[in-house]
Amino acid sequence: MAGSGTAHLRDRDDIVLSVEDLVVEFSVGGGQKVHAVSGVSFDIAEGETLGLVGESGCGKSTTGRALMQVPRPTGGSVRLRGTELTGLKGEALRQTRTQLQMIFQDPISSLNPRRKIRDIVSEGLSIWRRDVDADESRQRVDELLSAVGLDAATAGDRRAHQFSGGQCQRICIARSLVLDPDVLICDEPVSALDVSVQAQILNLLEDMKARYGLTMLFIAHDLAVVKNISDRVAVMYLGKICEVGPADTIYAHPSHPYTKALLAAVPRPDPGAINTSVPLEGDVPSPVDPPSGCRFRTRCPQAQQRCADEEPVVREIGSDHYVACHFPIDAPAAPVLAGALGGSEADLAS
């Protein structure tokens, strides 16, 4: 697995964001390059949430940032409602970026500590919507702050250090929505938060998505969080896509050996769940010198010679379910379920 290909791109009218063959490389001197993202393709339809999941260093954050064109991708195409972003420059790019907003992992450090919350949230308006007068802008900010669950009257005049991590993340969400973006890119938005607060923010993102008609790219390493919020999920490994499909399908019937291993490794908050699977051996190889063929083969329990010689290409394995693997696990017949357990109750790990 972990291959290239575009078979999973959909030919539909309601595709908002379409990424094709995205490549991001960083030079590290000595003629060597970090192959952070190597030929990633995906698309997100109107109102859809795509979860991008993978371990640290797999290139998921770099992918998110490359969509914003910071840094510019080395190759490939990023189209937002048909507009190609990779070629845009200067004012045109700035204008287009207002449609593409981002929230980050550490909410406290992504807010300017010296500015009032109201000014942080309204900055987009004061730059882009000169026609909006002060009253209207104030109203808009108040509306957003209360939409994200903060008391606008008291919160607006405070600064970031007076808020907890969860509240700062709410402020970041309000800021990202002030210009009515089409697409919200969330890069690990809840991984710095406690579980009780994490649930609040996940629920809030669902509410905001419904209320403001957002399309989301949700990047995270926590598989349970990604499943909770996503319609479709793409699994990444070492700069490549392994598997794409509807969230429930992928989690119930992982086709890629990596997806299966990743799911098996998730610790279950249930003392009865006995994990009999063998954890993956070793570490992720260096992206400076990735393995030939399938990039997962060095850790794959079922790797063959073919996996070293030939890179697998994404192909359809079930309805809207795509995998890049020469030897995928047969989707519905996968003998991963213990006995009579069926459907969502089954422990995928055993």
Partner 1 sequence: MNPATSATENTARPVAGLGHAEPLLAVRNLHTFFDTPRGIVRAVDDVSFSVDRGRTIGIVGESGSGKTVLSRSVLNLLPKKATIPAGGEILFEGRDLRPLSSKQMRSYWGPQLAMVFQDPMTSLNAVVKIGRQITEGLREHTDLNRRAAEQEAVALLRSVGIPAPERRLGEYPHQLSGGMRQRVTIAIAMACGPKLLIADEPTTALDVTVQAQILDLLARQQRERSMGMVLVTHDLGVVANRTDEIAVMYAGQFVEKAPTPIIFGSMRHPYTEALMRSIPRIENPSHTRLDAIPGRPPDLADLPRGCRFAPRCRNAQQRCLEENPPLFPGEQPGHEFRCFFPVGTPAGDEARERNVRDGRTAAGIDMDTLTKASA
**Touching partner 1, residues 253-272 (CB under 8 A):** 261-263, 265-271
User: According to CB under 8 A, which one of 227, 308, 337, 350 is a site residue for partner 1?
Assistant: 227
Q: Does 251 bind partner 1 (CB under 8 A)?
A: yes
Stretch binding partner 1 (CB under 8 A), from 4-12, 181-189, 192-200, 322-330: 192-200
User: According to CB under 8 A, which one of 75, 248, 327, 337 is a site residue for partner 1?
Assistant: 248
User: According to CB under 8 A, which one of 70, 153, 273, 313 is a site residue for partner 1?
Assistant: 273
Whichever of 266 and 308 has its CB closer to partner 1, that residue is 266
Whichever of 135 and 345 has its CB closer to partner 1, that residue is 345
**Touching partner 1, residues 92-151 (CB under 8 A):** 149
Task: Count the site residues for partner 1 by CB under 8 A.
Answer: 52
3-class secondary structure per residue, the chain: CCEECCCCCCCCCCEEEEEEEEEEEEECCCCCEEEEEEEEEEEEECCCEEEEECCCCCCHHHHHHHHCCCCCCCEEEEEECCEECCCCCHHHHHHHHCCEEEECCCCCCCCCCCCEHHHHHHHHHHHHCCCCCHHHHHHHHHHHHHHCCCCHHHHCCCEHHHCCHHHHHHHHHHHHHCCCCCEEEEECCCCCCCHHHHHHHHHHHHHHHHHHCCEEEEEECCHHHHHHHCCEEEEEECCEEEEEEEHHHHHHCCCCHHHHHHHHHCCCCCCCCCCCCCCCCCCCCCCCCCCCCCCCCCCCCCCCHHHHHCCCECEEEECCEEECCCCCCCCCCCCCCCCCCCHHHCCCCC
Q: Does 339 bind partner 1 (CB under 8 A)?
A: no
Q: Does 288 bind partner 1 (CB under 8 A)?
A: no
**198: amino acid identity, one letter:** Q
Supply the minimum distance, in Å, between the C-beta of residue 194 and partner 1: 4
Q: Does 195 bind partner 1 (CB under 8 A)?
A: yes
**Touching partner 1, residues 60-99 (CB under 8 A):** none
Q: Does 335 bind partner 1 (CB under 8 A)?
A: no
Whichever of 80 and 186 has its CB closer to partner 1, that residue is 186
Count Cβ atoms within 10 A of the Cβ of residue 350 and give its class: 0-12 exposed, 13-18 middle, 19 or more buried. Answer: middle
Whichever of 5 and 166 has its CB closer to partner 1, that residue is 166
**Touching partner 1, residues 4-63 (CB under 8 A):** 55-56
x-marked contacts with partner 1 along 297-326 as a string, rule CB under 8 A: ------------------------------
Q: List contacts with partner 1 (CB under 8 A).
A: 55-56, 149, 164, 166, 194-200, 202-204, 206-207, 221-225, 227-231, 247-248, 251, 261-263, 265-271, 273-275, 279-280, 283-284, 344-348
